[in-house]
Structure 1
Amino acid sequence: MSAREQASNDDATDFGFERVALGEKQGRVDDVFRSVAKRYDLMNDLMSAGLHRAWKAQLIAMLRPPQARAFRHLDVAGGTGDIAFRSLQAGGPETQVTVLDINESMLRVGAERAGRRYAGRIDFVAGNAEALPLPDAAFDAYTIAFGIRNVPRIDAALREARRVLRPGGRFLCLEFSKVDLPILDRIYDAYSFHVIPRIGARVAGDAESYRYLVESIRKFPSPGAFAGMIEAAGFRHVTHRLLSGGIVAIHSGWKVS
Structure 2
Amino acid sequence: MSVPNPANMEAFLNFFKSDMIDNPPAPRTYLRIPKNLTPEWESFFEKLAVFCENSCGSVNGIPNNTHERVAWEKRQWIMDDENLDEFDMWLTATNTKEKGNEALRNGESEKAFGLYMLSVRTFPCPHAMNNLAACALKENRFSVVEQHTTKALTIGYLTNPVKHAKALYRRAKARCHLGNFKEGVEDINLALELQPGETAILALKDELTQLLDTVVSAASLKRYLDQQPQPPAKISWSQGLNKAGQLIEGWQYDKVSKDSPLRRAPPPVY
Instruction: Give the TM-score range, shorter chain.
Output: under 0.3
Computing the radius of gyration from Cα coordinates, the structure with the larger value is 2
TM-score (norm 2): 0.26
Indicate the structure whose relative CO is greater, using CA pairs within 8 Å and at least 6 residues apart.
Answer: 1
Greater share of residues in helix: 2
With normalisation by structure 1, the TM-score equals 0.27
